[in-house]
Structure 1
């Protein structure tokens, strides 16, 4: 078992730019794709992942530093260090049972495909650490209450639920994602999409406001305000604004403006590489399935970056930064300083899909959503710190707490991990769980109705 775990962990630790293209190449060969075509598409996909990671790292380095300077100028001290998602992943992989999550996810996916309970093949196996993280937290919270054996069983039960919901989320979101990205046969199976259920009731209210219920994507903005809606111009103006607020000198302000302009201009270019890589693979899988399963279409589930060409996403990500800092200062009980997670894609991508790219609603929803991330990041800090110290996965100074200000699907993760505390009379996680379930039910119903309606129109 240790040998198997070592092999699985080694493969997964290669990282998304290597592991995900490898999985896609294998999938392409299984559906009789020519090796040279599959290899070319896989390498292009790896390039796209690296390019997207480089740009995000570039933005965190430039704008994140400015955001930290802004916080330092206020004189407010927030004691919890934001370690970002990499810290969470390192702690997760240190769990002794981590290697079991990989076969669990693959097995559930195969069973659901055979039983026709899903049409999504989840190729985003590298992000299996998200299920490990949830399970690890469940064990940490539930063990003092229910004992080690019961908590371990519950941990894998919750992880199984998360795997099923990721596939279901991929199924119901695929039609809308395809319309937004133009990439056929691909969907997103990342748990960050769960946050759409939290946004959904708020979005229903925003839709009733006439000005917010009209098309307001990047193309619409360009037609109305011209050059000021161009990616590079928006990036420059936002970068300059951040530099001014941070108190930089003129040269540094202008450089930050150019850096932000560079990032926003390059994101759509990198996104085209995802389309270039994924289109031939998804078409090969679709052709293969159509020959063997008449009338059935399979979708390839991936991480979010293939949607990264959306100007709406990056505009909202940057606009959300000052509001994230404001919330960090004024939110009662918050102790986390947003830094590593300041470029919070997990906040914005769900809003992008939910609103169909309506920029104004995306910005409003993001402002509403920030406190959920900060609350959960603060609540998780003692547990993540204890787990990090126990596993020795990360170096943590004495008396220092560490967490993440952009934990994916914060409400689902918090509710499913802490709900066991309701036995002790703490009902906040239970209330969050009920809220999320209701939001997910009605949001899923809307997506299914939209897919059915679009299918009917195509058949006319």
Structure 2
């Protein structure tokens, strides 16, 4: 545990090169090639974190300014995902989640229940957060551990289902996204996307980046879309002209730079992904394709994701003011809205309009979920000696305090035996569906080969 905790504490830019290098050597990659791949992945994460940091440091203050301008007086303060992650890892479940997660992933791989090798162990905090909430609600570490494992298994299935779409629309070959926050919105996206398919007229709206660029020329390019939305956000924040222009250029730059940083990361990851496929094919017949599980940060740069997320920032603030039953003041986590939409893009096939509609529904539901879970969230924070912000009676976060999958698991575990039966049935059904989907994909790949 001390070794694992030390490695995790190094941060993604150091932790990932170590993990990728070790994984590469284990899979038969030459040591020199594995080291280079690991370092290149580290460079990609450094670049990605720099750009995301720029996005957050620009979008966050603008969002805060909009909140203050509207003068919202809500008693539950959104303290952001860093606080939620710290609270999760400070819990009893958080102390054991990494070894549990590694064992669960290995078992799922051996039994062919997943195709994802999750190397992003930092993001196990999402599962720990679910487990910590359930532990606090039931006063039982066993229930909390069970909840965390169920959450993890469901997310692995969702990562497998969306992996081909991530490859196609995010240009991330051999990658899946077993991200506890982003993956939770995939079922909602599937349902809403199906509903849109049934509505004449609306179902025919084509708003993918290629179509937008074809129709609007230069104004359909991600750079221009991001810059225009940035200018609007700056204006709504009440900034002066200089700052408005800075926000506009920064947002446009982020839409261009994030995919480039992700492609650099992929340059390092591809040799390891190829080695993984060769390793599996040699030792396990009919095992199918294997995906490397990464943080959804590598996917947020898709134009549909970023454009929809930037539009949702001011709308989320307005929703918080008018939505009946909401007591959450969106604040620190407004900048993570792209992560909410990262895995929606493969479902909507990159359609900006559909991604926005799905996002609007998700934000509305999310505010109510965050309000409902705020008492438990606050209790966990107090247990972890978290300093409460001034003026706040309770705290929440969009990531993971507004997570629908976490909320559902929390409600079902409250029903004890009945809830367990439902969760086991859901996992079993997903296992059957996942098996059928992967077999169908394997058959299609054999035909193409």
TM-score by length of 2: 0.89
Q: Distance in 1 between matches of 2:436 and 2:204?
A: 16
Deviates more, 1:436-445 or 1:113-122: 436-445
Deviation at 1:118, TM superposition (A): 2.2
Q: Distance in 2 between matches of 1:451 and 1:211?
A: 30
Q: Tell me: CA distance 1:441–1:369, structure 2 relative to 1, closer, same or farther (3 Å).
A: farther
> Is residue 300–residue 339 contact of structure 2 (8 Å, CA) maintained in 1?
no
**Equivalent in 10, 20, 34 of residue 14 of structure 1:** 10
Deviation at 1:6, TM superposition (A): 3.2
Deviation at 1:152, TM superposition (A): 1.6
Deviation at 1:211, TM superposition (A): 4.7
Q: Give the corresponding residue for 1:70.
A: 66
Deviation at 1:228, TM superposition (A): 0.5
Post-superposition Cα deviations, 1:292-325, rounded to whole Å, max 9, x if no partner, equal 2233232211211232442221111111112211
Q: Give the corresponding residue for 2:153.
A: 164
Post-superposition Cα deviations, 1:169-215, rounded to whole Å, max 9, x if no partner, equal 22222222222233332211112212111222221111233453465
In the TM superposition, 1:236-255 aligns within 5 A as 236-255=227-246
Q: Give the corresponding residue for 2:371.
A: 378
Q: Give the corresponding residue for 1:287.
A: 278
Q: Tell me: CA distance 1:32–1:456, structure 2 relative to 1, closer, same or farther (3 Å).
A: closer
Q: Distance in 1 between matches of 2:206 and 2:259?
A: 20
Post-superposition Cα deviations, 1:339-381, rounded to whole Å, max 9, x if no partner, equal 2211213321132121111111001111111012212222222
Q: Give the corresponding residue for 2:76.
A: 80
In the TM superposition, 1:270-281 aligns within 5 A as 270-281=261-272
SS at match of 1:341: helix
Q: Distance in 1 between matches of 2:340 and 2:415?
A: 27
**Equivalent in 285, 290, 306 of residue 314 of structure 1:** 306
Q: Tell me: CA distance 1:442–1:118, structure 2 relative to 1, closer, same or farther (3 Å).
A: closer
SS at match of 2:350: coil
> Is residue 222–residue 256 contact of structure 2 (8 Å, CA) maintained in 1?
yes
Matched, 1:388 2:377: no
Q: Distance in 1 between matches of 2:164 and 2:110?
A: 22
Q: Give the corresponding residue for 2:345.
A: 352
SS at match of 2:77: strand
Q: Give the corresponding residue for 1:99.
A: 95
Q: Distance in 1 between matches of 2:232 and 2:170?
A: 30
> Is residue 38–residue 281 contact of structure 1 (8 Å, CA) maintained in 2?
yes
Task: Give the aligned length.
Answer: 442
Q: Tell me: CA distance 1:408–1:116, structure 2 relative to 1, closer, same or farther (3 Å).
A: farther
Gaps spanning 5+ residues in structure 1: where? Answer: 144-150
> Is residue 384–residue 403 contact of structure 1 (8 Å, CA) maintained in 2?
yes
Q: Tell me: CA distance 1:175–1:258, structure 2 relative to 1, closer, same or farther (3 Å).
A: closer
Q: Distance in 2 between matches of 1:437 and 1:400?
A: 37
TM-score by length of 1: 0.87
Q: Distance in 1 between matches of 2:168 and 2:5?
A: 36
Q: Tell me: CA distance 1:132–1:24, structure 2 relative to 1, closer, same or farther (3 Å).
A: same
Deviation at 1:222, TM superposition (A): 0.8
Matched, 1:29 2:29: no
Q: Give the corresponding residue for 1:147.
A: none
Gaps spanning 5+ residues in structure 2: where? Answer: none
Deviation at 1:450, TM superposition (A): 7.3
> Is residue 337–residue 405 contact of structure 1 (8 Å, CA) maintained in 2?
no
SS at match of 2:88: helix
Matched, 1:128 2:124: yes
SS at match of 1:118: coil
Q: Distance in 2 between matches of 1:108 and 1:450?
A: 25
> Is residue 24–residue 34 contact of structure 2 (8 Å, CA) maintained in 1?
yes
Matched, 1:232 2:223: yes
Q: Distance in 1 between matches of 2:117 and 2:269?
A: 14
**Equivalent in 118, 134, 137 of residue 138 of structure 1:** 134
